[in-house]
Chains A and B, each alone.
Chain A
Amino acid sequence: LVPLLAALVAGAAEARATSDGQLPGAAAMGTGTPPSPSGTAFEETRLHVFTLDYPHVQIPFEITLWILLASLAKIGFHLYHKLPSIVPESCLLILVGLLLGGIIFGAEEKSPPVMNSDVFFLYLLPPIVLDAGYFMPTRLFFENFGTIFWYAVVGTLWNAIGIGISLYGICQISAFGLTDITLLQNLLFGSLISAVDPVAVLAVFENIHVNEQLYILVFGESLLNDAITVVLYNLFKSFCQMRTIKVIDIFAGIANFFIVGIGGVLIGILLGFVAAFTTRFTHKIRVIEPLFVFLYSYLSYITAEMFHLSGIMAITACAMTMNKYVEENVSQKSYTTIKYFMKMLSSVSETLIFIFMGVSTVGKNHEWNWAFVSFTLLFCLIWRALGVFVLTQIINVFRTIPLTFKDQFIIAYGGLRGAICFSLVFLLPPAVFPRKKLFITAVIVVIFFTVFIQGITIRPLVEFLDVKRSNKKQPAVSEEIYNRFFDHVKTGIEDVCGHWGHNFWRDKFKKFDNKYLRRLLIRENQPKSSIVSLYKKLEIKHAIEMAESGMISKVPSSVSLSEYHEGKIKPLSPTEMENMREILTKNLYQIRHRTMSYNRHSLAADANEKQAKEILIRRRHSLRESLRKTNSLSRESTVLAFCCHCC
């Protein structure tokens, strides 16, 4: 697989060289050159039977090849099924990138194309953040918001300043040959390397399945720290370029932080509402519904970037706002499209980012200095661990569920660095930073260490420490009922003791939401309970499952047919039978009602949907049959039992 890909890329590289004007044996490629317009009357060119015009398609061709390569690499990893569980994909992708970089370097004797920071920030990063923000468990996120915010802002500040100052201390030691790096440069370096990276965190935590609370803490931190990273980075960069720094500038920096963070979030929320409002009217043109979701979220990102606000926070806020309302306005098909397209985009982006990181590592823009690099790594680890520990002691006082040492360890260990610091370091202006190559090397070493060593060892550590894992079980109606019931109990008790807790604010928001927002943003606004929507979802799922499995019910706790003899069934009175049929009919009626509504679009009814309807009709028939014969599904059997009991 790899030699094939290498040949592909080498061919592309060679072809590029060809088009650049150096023609090594054009005859080998067929009749090569397109007709030149400067040909005189006597040098008429004959009609070309076959032409190769690479420059015409160069850019899209190369982009497609890269994406194809990335996807093929992904397939390759999963061929050996044990591999993804030992080594996270990100590591393997970086290795592939390294290999490719090496090949290109060897073939062309110059540094391979470095990942353009613009490409990264404008095209590769947004899909990943959008995907993460759209499917973020909002409830858990807001419950832990204080902690996440605390870690993101204070933690990153702590890390940045700590690393910057300690590195400056190291640089002062003349034996290492680093005395020309100023304090400000060190602080800038500290600020760009202290940011925990959402891409890397996602890539690694995806496979280890820690409990949701821990995951949301690390991941939420990586998203929210973008605001402070942007501010610190720009602040120190301008400080490096300014000749004098006044106190007013520091205050401007602090004010900038608030503007960046809050501004980003506001843009995101605003555009989220606009998107929800737009989808209210799209029921006639269902096909382009998914487009609005993507366009508005991307718009929020680039608008925020335009004002130098935090694009990540904008797109996260937009996705989280949109999610609730859009889901109710769009059709089921559009929802599926949105989901899958988002996942696909983010997967491709992630893969490309890691491969590019690998490719960009190879090359001549490095400067190795043992002291700087090793101390950078050391300080990153030390300050992260210290930071998490100290901050947790403080925040535990305010938390209802205190964080244990295990949690703290995972949070500290899960602070992975990734492509964001990588791109930020490439963006440093070399005029102001004569030792830029040193910084690049240091950043790469830190990233490789965190992604490889920490990424690979975090899974055995999680198992060794017996961290609570997430239990992904089937959503159950009874569970939803319990959760709702419990919420109300808690709110009630809080009201009785006069305490304005989390639930109080959540309730207030829900009331506001129901009264104004939902009326405005949702087309068919029926106040829906989560219990009812979950129940309907499960019913539909059940029906479609039946269709797919060819009408053979695989309901878990089914009474085996042999146990059921005619004599043992309690004879049902006609009223009991009527009752039971009524219950089931009502259920089935609702499902049929809902599936029919999806046909309002001009798209032909999906085969599955037709089948589902068929199944439901047949189910009623078979039910009547089952009363006469011994064949029965377990749902009917327990319903039988119920009706015997309640009637």
Chain B
Amino acid sequence: QGQAQTGPGVTSLFSPAVTSEQIEHLHRRFKQLSQDQLTIRKENFDSIPDLEFNPIRGKIVHAFFDKRNLRQESDGLADEINFEDFLTIMSYFRPIEMNMDEEQLDRFRKEKLKFLFHMYDSDHDGKITLQEYRNVVEELLSGNPHLEKESARSIADGAMMEAASICVGQMGPDQVYEGITFEDFLKMWQGIDIETKMHVRFLNVDTIAHCY
């Protein structure tokens, strides 16, 4: 198998707790997905069977190629990602450590929420508009064949109204609620401690890769 070829930049993303074994495990997985190529393209994600049933599959795959998530300066979508980028995306899901201080925790939390925000904001303009929100709700509810499109729309509208009331509070007569900005998004997630929930235990050594 050989050593995982990662640049020094990647390991700096991870705190010292991550071992090379864990990176190797992810590398194994990467190779499975890429079929031994050096990069992955969107089509490679089609080979994951369980992902088919996920209603927001499109958004998840999109998130891997989103340049904003890959910490690249430019905007838009990358065509293919290498292992370093793969690890970058995975780093959003690492668990918190006990020895983090307040500032680190806060930065951690913002990073994770930014990842989620980018998934909502599909046109990359920094705001979640009503149309984008409707799109999200429609995708979420796409598993129900009985549900009419109108219901999804009205739910999204109701949710946006709630968001408006939380973020803007009293709205003046001329005000129009443009969309949810990242600051507003942060406000809405205030009560929920996302940093403890948003992690995947792949960083534990003894998980078994799903071979298909």
- Binding site secondary structure of chain A: helix
Contact B140 A529 (CB under 8 A): yes
Complex Cα distance, B175 from A497, in Å, reads 45
Complex Cα distance, B53 from A490, in Å, reads 13
Complex Cα distance, B33 from A556, in Å, reads 50
Contact A499 B202 (CB under 8 A): yes
Instruction: State whether the Cβ of A484 lies closer than 8 Å to any Cβ in chain B.
Output: yes
Instruction: State whether the Cβ of A123 lies closer than 8 Å to any Cβ in chain B.
Output: no
Contact B51 A499 (CB under 8 A): no
Q: Which residue of A477, A504, A568, A569 is within 8 Å of B162 (Cβ)?
A: A477
A564-B201 in contact given A400-B95, A484-B140, A498-B210 (Cβ < 8 Å): no
Shortest Cβ distance from residue B143 to the other chain A in the assembled complex, whole angstroms: 7
Closest to B161 in A: A638
Shortest Cβ distance from residue B113 to the other chain A in the assembled complex, whole angstroms: 11
Instruction: State whether the Cβ of A20 lies closer than 8 Å to any Cβ in chain B.
Output: no
A497-B98 in contact given A489-B60, A491-B54, A559-B170 (Cβ < 8 Å): no
Most chain B CB within 10 A, of A501, A528, A563, A641, is at: A641
Q: Which residue of B140, B191, B196 is within 8 Å of A488 (Cβ)?
A: B140
A639-B200 in contact given A489-B56, A497-B26, A557-B169 (Cβ < 8 Å): no
A478-B188 in contact given A493-B93, A527-B144, A529-B141 (Cβ < 8 Å): yes
Instruction: State whether the Cβ of B76 lies closer than 8 Å to any Cβ in chain A.
Output: no
Closest to A568 in B: B173
Instruction: State whether the Cβ of A36 lies closer than 8 Å to any Cβ in chain B.
Output: no
Q: Which residue of B173, B177, B189, B210 is within 8 Å of A500 (Cβ)?
A: B210
Instruction: State whether the Cβ of B108 lies closer than 8 Å to any Cβ in chain A.
Output: no
Contact A529 B143 (CB under 8 A): yes
Shortest Cβ distance from residue A513 to the other chain B in the assembled complex, whole angstroms: 13
Complex Cα distance, B171 from A639, in Å, reads 12
Interface residues of B in 122-148 (CB under 8 A from A): 130-131, 136-137, 140-141, 143-147
Instruction: State whether the Cβ of A56 lies closer than 8 Å to any Cβ in chain B.
Output: no
A642-B130 in contact given A488-B55, A500-B210 (Cβ < 8 Å): yes
Interface residues of B in 166-212 (CB under 8 A from A): 169-178, 188-189, 191-192, 194, 196-202, 207-211
A-B contacts, 24 listed (Cβ < 8 Å): A402-B98, A476-B159, A481-B136, A481-B155, A481-B159, A482-B192, A486-B197, A490-B197, A492-B60, A496-B64, A498-B207, A499-B201, A504-B50, A527-B143, A529-B141, A529-B143, A532-B141, A532-B155, A538-B158, A568-B173, A583-B157, A587-B154, A638-B164, A646-B131
Given contacts A488-B54, A494-B200, A639-B157, 11 further A-B contacts (CB under 8 A): A479-B192, A482-B189, A485-B116, A488-B140, A491-B54, A492-B54, A493-B200, A495-B48, A495-B54, A638-B161, A646-B131
Binding site for B on A (CB under 8 A): 400-402, 471, 473, 476-479, 481-482, 484-486, 488-501, 504, 507, 511, 526-529, 531-532, 535, 538, 556-557, 559-560, 563-565, 568-570, 583, 586-587, 590, 634-635, 637-639, 641-642, 644-646
